[in-house]
Chains A and B, each alone.
Chain A
Amino acid sequence: MIGTLKGMLTTVRWLLRRPVTAHYPEQHLPVQERYMGFPALLMDDTAGEPFCTGCMVCVRECPTQCMSAQMHDNPKFTDGTSHRRKIINEFEINLNRCILCGICVDVCSFDAIEMSYEHELASYARAGSRADLDLLLEQGRRYMEMSGWNPENPEKNVAGVALAKRAAAAAAKTAAGEAGPADDSTEGGE
């Protein structure tokens, strides 16, 4: 009897407190800063192209084999506006199979892929869960805006920075070796 009354008292106290439940479709809780939603690709605005070079490391390391990628020669590399020799052509992630493990982000050494904040991606069709390059970049754009993302390794990966650095290095070299033979061999990107 006493135990029951004690329990009643405990529950009755809750009449006076605020409810902790969030009413989901109407009310969205904010995600935490480190939240790992579906992976998205990021855009290098200094060159107007994605960071991704299509190196396929993430495709190989993904535990569920849910990604596929295809690269081609980067026309901007020949133009000299980018330091990336190869660039991604097609990229697809089957979000139905993705387990949000974040391994792809860990293995990518080009700052190209990030776990975005996207998590509400229900679709009516099965194929609706296949994210192609455009969608992935769009999600990446949203993520960049929301999180204020910065590349971890800009010297290597951001075209503007990398090209500027290279130009500076080349200028220094020619200044130092004025008398020497002209050195115009271009250093390659990855």
Chain B
Amino acid sequence: MTTEQTYETVDMMLNMGPQHPATHGVFRMVLTVDGEHVVDVTPHIGYLHRGSEKLAENETYGQVITLFDRLDYVANLNNELIFCRAAERLMGIDPPERGQYIRVILAELNRLASHLLFIGTYAIDLGAMTPIMYGFRERERIQNLFESVTGARMMHNFIRIGGVKEDVPPDFVPRVRALADDVQRGVEEIDRLLTFNEVFLARTRGVGVIDVPTALSCGLTGPGLRASGVAYDVRKDYPHEVYPYLSYKVPVGENGDCWDRYYMRVLECYESLSMVRQCLDQMEEGPVMAQMRRIARPPKGEVYVHGENPRGDIGVFLVSDGTDKPYRVKVRPPSFCNLVALRPMMRDAYIADAVAILGSLDIVLGEVDR
């Protein structure tokens, strides 16, 4: 009897998700692990697919805005804005200045709300319970403001083709000013609590590093790309709305690790707050909606418009055949494209860091799957 047996070392497949709390939705990764190291990762998406792009072909332009609300459901107003800008470009409409200021204020506040949520959930991913409470507290203030302006806390349908639905309530300016001060304090508090915490640093510093060429070839955009050191920001590089009138910095990181990706978002919070304040200073009375027919009916043609969402560069390719319904709506969702960078980031990371890396990408599955 031979006692000698040959054992072969094989990589193990580890299934993570789709019901894993750290995947922020229904997202499945199949990790190939060699001991403690991740060799490869295959993302599986589509659990939240609703066919938004196809649905949009059967809805009028006004109705499509409600679909865009539901793509990136953490940054609804930014999504509405991008579709409205696309349709406006196609129709050759320029929204009035006050409308643009309102749109930018709301979009920046929504960016803030989204980043606050990210900071909180990212800390939870890493096992810290407190920051989410702080993040939600601040986000709640912003949501309350949204409720008083748009009437809804999340699915607003407020930004319309040609401007915004209605003017802001009379107490808007003082209210936003007070809100900006409150949120500023809140962000500073979270910043103090988390950013230079030793445990947090140990979990995120040097983890999930991605260098510039890889990041660019993966199509990474947004805070993730800026963390690697590329100052690419659609608001700066392709001026639109009233962004050229505002002065702000584009925070840029050095190492392209998880901590940098986190910190970029914290810094962006401050920038957004300063932008909101500048908008309030510059905003003047006036109409909020361009003169146009009630039913949007863009002429035949196609257009590609992109903008800076909290998660990165969102693009909309809109084809019109001259009817009141779009012929094709293609979205370039930043979360989906950023997910491509998951594999190079995760290679040779520890399993324990997989959640940290995925969390730092800040994906929203509603947008990934559409």
Contacts and interface: CB of A to CB of B under 8 A. Distances in A.
A binds B: yes
Interface string A1-31: 1011011001100000000100000000001
B254 interface: no
Interface string B337-369: 000000000000000000000000000000000
Contacts of A11: 130, 193
Interface residues of A, number: 23
Interface string B130-147: 100000010010001001
A4 B193 contact: no
Interface string B47-79: 000000000000110110011000000000000
B196 interface: yes
Nearest to A7: B193
A7 B194 contact: yes
Contact of B137 (A20, A34, A35, A115): A20
Nearest to A63: B63
Contacts of B155: 99-101
Interface in B82-98: none
A4 B200 CA distance: 9
Contact of A32 (B63, B147, B192): B147
B150 interface: yes
Contacts of B198: 1, 3-4
B193 A35 contact: no
B291 to A, nearest CB: 17
B150 A6 contact: no
A32 B155 CA distance: 15
B170 to A, nearest CB: 11
Contacts, number: 67
Contacts of B189: 10
Given A10-B189, A101-B66, A33 B152 contact: no
A160 interface: no
A4 to B, nearest CB: 6
B323 interface: no
A103 B67 CA distance: 13
Interface string B180-200: 000000000100111011111
A106 B194 CA distance: 45
A20 B134 CA distance: 10
Nearest to A102: B157
Contact of A36 (B60, B144, B151, B199): B151
Which of the listed residues B67, B149, B192 has the most CB atoms from chain A within 10 Å of its own CB?
B192
A61 B151 CA distance: 20
A56 B62 CA distance: 17
B216 interface: no
B147 A3 contact: no
A160 to B, nearest CB: 27
Which of the listed residues A6, A32, A103, A106 has the most CB atoms from chain B within 10 Å of its own CB?
A32
B148 interface: yes
A31 to B, nearest CB: 7
B63 A103 contact: yes
A4 B199 CA distance: 8
A6 B157 contact: no
Contacts of A102: 151, 157, 165
A32 B59 contact: no
A20 B139 CA distance: 12
A3 B201 contact: yes
B148 A33 contact: yes
Nearest to A11: B130
Nearest to B152: A36
B169 A33 contact: yes
A174 B199 CA distance: 89
Interface in A30-60: 31-36
Interface in B141-177: 144, 147-152, 155, 157, 165, 169
Nearest to A34: B151
Contacts of B199: 4
A65 to B, nearest CB: 11
A32 B140 contact: no
B63 A115 contact: no
B201 A100 contact: no
Interface string A46-89: 00000000000000010100000000000000000000000000
Interface of B: 59-60, 62-63, 66-67, 130, 137, 140, 144, 147-152, 155, 157, 165, 169, 189, 192-194, 196-201
13 contacts: A3-B197, A6-B197, A7-B194, A10-B192, A32-B151, A34-B147, A61-B62, A63-B66, A101-B66, A102-B151, A102-B157, A103-B62, A103-B63
- Listed from nearest, the 8 A-B pairs whose CB atoms lie closest are A36-B151, A63-B63, A32-B148, A34-B151, A3-B196, A3-B197, A101-B157, A32-B147
Given A4-B198, A11-B130, A61-B62, 14 more contacts: A1-B198, A3-B198, A3-B200, A3-B201, A4-B197, A7-B130, A7-B193, A7-B194, A32-B144, A34-B151, A63-B67, A101-B155, A102-B151, A103-B157
